[in-house]
Amino acid sequence: MAFHKSMAPLMAEVAFWGLLSLVLILATSFVPLLGFIFTPFTPLPLILLFLRRGIRGWAIGLLLLFLILALSSSITSGVAYLLEFGAIALALGEGIRREWRGEKTILLGTLVAGVGSILALFFHILRSPMGLSAWIGEQIAIRLQEVREVFARAGVPPTSWDALQRFLMETYPALLVLGILFATVINYYSAGYIQGIGKSETAPRIPPFSSWSLPDYWVWGLILSLSLYLIPGPAKGVGLNLLLIFSGLYLLQGMAISSFLLRRWHLSSPLRIVIFFLLIAQPFLILLLVILGLLDVWLNLRKIGDPLRTAGG
């Protein structure tokens, strides 16, 4: 009897977060416009379940969702959720629990989710009659059609879709990594914020986004990718993908520096969020943020004139 009483709160919380995960999955599946908004948050309920109920709660919730997706949709959907979202929830939850540095937890989560996505991709290919390139092309065509429909409803004139499709095929590896990276960032800071609400001082705390800092030697990855991009032939494609990935990493660093400056100017959180959206809405400003992130390697911008930098920025 005591066992059932101790399990009741756990199962109730598993049911709540599992239902929330299911709602996010259904929203992304049936409403494409909502998919662009909700897809990055799909692992969030599992991360919070791990933080609140430990690995047992995470495992029960993951198994429950796997069974629901496998029975209601397909075994492929269940395995994909298990490998992608289950893995990233475990990595981020453990990183937050151990209070690792933000960039360490995020990069580990990206790596784990990336491996899970590749495994899920090959599992899907094994069950599909078409090859890898054909399947990727089909998926890109489907997503482009969804974007076309959204743009058409908004009155936006069509662009050169065929050229865009060729570019997406060429840069698919980088776009996959960047999608996982930014989804990991969103889930990490969202989970840390929600988990910190109403908690005691001894509860796990995540470092502020303004403290994000890549090791200086990572700049050599950007230099190598640019060098490969300048070489004609297959190396150019490899260089382009690596260049996009490293640019994404330094974009995050530029955004972290911007966050540091905005906090230093004592701007309110809603205003900082609005400014961030405005910054990433313009390609030219995105480029400036990447350059700002690179300059930090040599200028150490967040330490200049601020002795309290190490206290959290």
Name the residue with higher pLDDT: 18 or 263. Answer: 263
> Do 190 and 67 share a structural domain?
yes
Task: With cut-offs at 50, 70 and 90, classify the pLDDT of residue 263.
Answer: confident
> Do 161 and 176 share a structural domain?
yes
Cβ pair 65, 19 in contact under 8 A: no
> Do 270 and 170 share a structural domain?
no
Measure the CA–CA gap between 293 and 195, rounded to whole angstroms: 29
Residue 3 is predicted with a pLDDT of: 44
> Do 126 and 31 share a structural domain?
yes
- In angstroms and rounded to an integer, the radius of gyration of the C-alpha atoms of the chain is 21
**Looking only at Cα atoms, what is the longest distance across the chain?**
71
Examine the fold and report which residue of 163, 179, 207 is the final residue of a domain before the chain moves on: 207
> Do 233 and 146 share a structural domain?
no
Interval 97-137: pLDDT, tens: 898 999 999 999 999 998 988 888 777 777 666 666 676 66
The mean pLDDT of the chain is 80
Examine the fold and report which residue of 147, 172, 207 is the final residue of a domain before the chain moves on: 207
If you average pLDDT over residues 170-183, what whole number do you get? Answer: 89
Q: Inform me whether the pLDDT recorded for 311 exceeds 50.
A: no
* CA 309 to centroid of chain Cα atoms: 26
Task: With cut-offs at 50, 70 and 90, classify the pLDDT of residue 2.
Answer: very low
Examine the fold and report which residue of 146, 181, 207 is the final residue of a domain before the chain moves on: 207
Q: In this structure, which long-range contacts are made by residues 34-37, counting pairs with CB atoms below 8 Å and at least 24 apart in sequence?
A: 35/146, 36/150
Instruction: Domain count for the chain, please give it.
Output: 2
Q: Inform me whether the pLDDT recorded for 8 exceeds 80.
A: no
> Do 253 and 139 share a structural domain?
no
Interval 140-170: pLDDT, tens: 677 667 666 666 665 556 555 666 677 777 8
Interval 274-284: pLDDT, tens: 888 888 878 88
> Do 49 and 193 share a structural domain?
yes
Place of tokens 């999608």: 179
> Do 37 and 158 share a structural domain?
yes
Cβ pair 95, 105 in contact under 8 A: yes
**Lowest model confidence (mean pLDDT) among 7-16, 49-58, 143-152, 214-223:** 143-152
> Do 142 and 70 share a structural domain?
yes
> Do 168 and 120 share a structural domain?
yes
Query: 2 vs 6, 8, 10, 243, CA distance in Å?
Result: 6, 10, 13, 57
Task: With cut-offs at 50, 70 and 90, classify the pLDDT of residue 223.
Answer: very high
CA nearest to 152, candidates 33, 27, 29: 33
Residue 78 is predicted with a pLDDT of: 80
If you average pLDDT over residues 208-229, what whole number do you get? Answer: 91
Cβ pair 168, 140 in contact under 8 A: yes
Place of tokens 């936006």: 156
Share of the chain above pLDDT 90, in %: 26
> Do 227 and 195 share a structural domain?
no
- Specify the CATH number for the domain of residue 40: 1.10.1760
**Lowest model confidence (mean pLDDT) among 134-143, 177-186, 251-260:** 134-143
Helix count (H) and strand count (E) of the chain? 13, 0
Domain that holds residue 310: 210-313
End-to-end CA distance of the chain, in Å? Answer: 50
CA nearest to 225, candidates 214, 211, 235: 235
Q: Inform me whether the pLDDT recorded for 57 exceeds 90.
A: no
Residue 295 is predicted with a pLDDT of: 92
> Do 198 and 253 share a structural domain?
no
Cβ pair 14, 49 in contact under 8 A: yes
Name the residue with higher pLDDT: 30 or 69. Answer: 69
